[in-house]
């Protein structure tokens, strides 16, 4: 019965899990590494609460998050609270209220957990660690280059070198459909076909739309090939302007990051509902899926004015799965009664130390029992196998 009770207590809801050592330690180190990168780019860290009033979380850029949100009644205010599903909407609130009078551009960064009602097809986890930045109040191409360059540097600092950046323009297809005079139902069908890569459905469209959107789907791929294909398409003026802007951005980003691998998917729009310009997704090269995503959007202040913003969110769990294992310092066991100050001195030198709390006849055996690979004997740190052979 006792074993059954223990197993029952260990059971957690689907999509939630305990993170134990050494993964919890790796996660803390990964988040610290990311925040250090953000700090050195001049981004100030903020820490919004896990729960807020539901209406606040669903305002502005959070408008599409309702179906994914856990809700609860606040016994103090008698109002509905929501548990955040994304931190970007909270940063937007802070920027337009608490920091409304701060000089622009405003550079903010964050790290924390979010909770969702259900996981996605590629991500079953419902509690996810996020870390990211938001640059608010600047609409220039230089702002987008800075943000994506920071994402590249942060991911590499966390130990991931094998990744690609996929660029997209979520407003490109809707605006192109509008310029072609397509009604809403037809335009929605085209977006769905592009989303599912259904080339037959695109080819079946009447008039010039079918061949045009079919060519758009075929254009997806490595950046240079995709840009060549887009430049050779017969596009309306505003759509062509977006392509020209994309080409200029690719050139500017490569000037800062010449070795980055870029792809372009001009028909992609999923999960970019509130974005209004260039967007990007970081994909791990080892098949672990999305490392993060971001792009251009607008932040609406209390007065109704919209500020330009650009940012990104990194998914910490995906980054850890894609990264190399961290080099952890081996544990050293220091027996009770060792030289005074020895444990403290070893910690100063960078060792991870477990100090004995009771006398033991065989320090080496006790070190092994506690999972240590080294033991402190006669004033020296000795590897266990060496101590056993002595």
Q: Is the bond preceding 319 in cis, omega lying within 30 degrees of 0?
A: no
What confidence tens digit (pLDDT) does each residue in 157-172 have? 999 999 999 999 988 8
Residue range 296-303: average pLDDT? Answer: 86
pTM of the model as a whole:
0.90
Residue range 308-336: average pLDDT? Answer: 88
Helical pair 223-231 and 237-256, crossing angle rounded to 10 deg: 160
DSSP string, 330-359: PEEEE-TT-STTHHHHHHHTT-EEEE-SS-
Alpha-carbon distance 340 to 60, whole Å? Answer: 60
Strands 106-115 and 44-45: parallel
What confidence tens digit (pLDDT) does each residue in 138-155 have? 999 999 999 999 999 999
What confidence tens digit (pLDDT) does each residue in 188-213 have? 888 888 877 888 888 777 777 788 88
10 Å CB burial of residue 182 (0-12, 13-18, 19+) is buried
Alpha-carbon distance 5 to 292, whole Å? Answer: 39
What confidence tens digit (pLDDT) does each residue in 338-371 have? 988 999 999 999 999 999 999 999 999 999 999 9
Helix count and strand count (H, E) for the chain: 15, 16
Structural domains for the chain: 19-160+290-316 (3.30.930.10), 171-267 (no CATH), 331-389 (no CATH)
Is residue 163 within 8 A of residue 291, CB to CB? The reply is: yes
Residue range 223-245: average pLDDT? Answer: 93
pLDDT at 75: 96
Four-CA torsion 233, 239, 245, 251, nearest 10 degrees: -20
Whether the per-residue pLDDT at 30 is higher than 90: the answer is yes
Whether the per-residue pLDDT at 259 is higher than 70: the answer is yes
pLDDT at 390: 58
Whether the per-residue pLDDT at 372 is higher than 80: the answer is yes
Q: Band the pLDDT of 64: cuts 50, 70, 90.
A: confident
Q: Which residue has the higher pLDDT, 296 or 300?
A: 296
Whether the per-residue pLDDT at 7 is higher than 70: the answer is no
pLDDT at 386: 67
pLDDT at 140: 96
pLDDT at 290: 92
In this structure, what token pair is assigned to residue 232?
């050779």
Residue range 282-306: average pLDDT? Answer: 88
What confidence tens digit (pLDDT) does each residue in 89-143 have? 999 999 999 999 999 999 999 999 999 999 876 667 899 999 999 999 999 999 9
Residue 130 bridge partners (DSSP): 112, 315
Q: Which residue has the higher pLDDT, 229 or 183?
A: 229
In this structure, what token pair is assigned to residue 320?
């850890």
Whether the per-residue pLDDT at 288 is higher than 80: the answer is no
pLDDT at 2: 53
């Amino acid at each position: 019965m006792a074993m059954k009770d223990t197993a029952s207590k260990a059971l957690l809801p689907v999509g939630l899990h305990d993170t134990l050592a050494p993964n919890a330690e790796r996660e803390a180190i990964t988040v610290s590494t990311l925040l250090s990168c953000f700090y050195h780019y001049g981004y100030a860290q903020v820490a919004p609460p896990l729960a807020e009033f539901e209406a606040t979380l669903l305002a502005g850029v959070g408008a599409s998050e309702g179906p994914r949100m856990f809700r609860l009644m606040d016994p103090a205010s008698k109002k509905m609270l929501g548990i955040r599903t994304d931190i970007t909407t909270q940063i937007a609130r802070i920027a337009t209220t608490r920091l409304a009078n701060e000089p622009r551009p405003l550079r903010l960064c964050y790290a924390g957990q979010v909770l969702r009602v259900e996981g996605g097809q590629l991500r079953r986890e419902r509690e996810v660690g996020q870390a990211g930045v938001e640059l608010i109040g600047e609409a220039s191409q230089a702002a987008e280059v800075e943000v994506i360059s920071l994402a590249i540097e942060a991911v590499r600092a966390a130990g991931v070198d094998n990744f690609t950046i996929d660029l997209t323009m979520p407003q490109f297809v809707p605006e192109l459909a509008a310029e072609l005079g397509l009604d809403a139902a037809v335009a929605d069908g085209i977006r769905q076909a592009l989303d599912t890569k259904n080339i037959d459905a695109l080819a079946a469209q009447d008039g010039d739309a079918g061949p045009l959107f079919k060519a758009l789907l075929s254009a997806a791929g490595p950046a240079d090939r995709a840009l060549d294909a887009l430049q050779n398409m017969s596009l309306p003026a505003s759509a062509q302007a977006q392509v020209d802007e994309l080409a200029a951005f690719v050139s500017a980003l490569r000037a800062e990051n010449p070795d980055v691998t870029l792809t372009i998917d001009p028909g992609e729009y999923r999960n970019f509902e509130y974005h209004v310009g260039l967007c990007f997704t970081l994909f791990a090269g080892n098949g672990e899926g999305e490392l993060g995503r971001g792009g251009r959007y607008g932040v609406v202040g209390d007065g109704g004015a919209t500020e330009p913003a650009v940012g990104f969110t990194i998914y910490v769990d995906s980054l850890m799965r894609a990264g190399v294992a961290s080099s952890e310092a081996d544990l050293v066991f220091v027996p009770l009664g060792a030289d005074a100050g020895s444990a403290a001195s070893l910690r100063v030198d960078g060792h991870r130390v477990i100090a004995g709390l009771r006398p033991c006849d065989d320090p080496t055996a006790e070190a092994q029992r506690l999972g240590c690979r080294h033991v402190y004997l006669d004033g020296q740190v000795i590897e266990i196998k060496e101590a056993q052979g002595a």
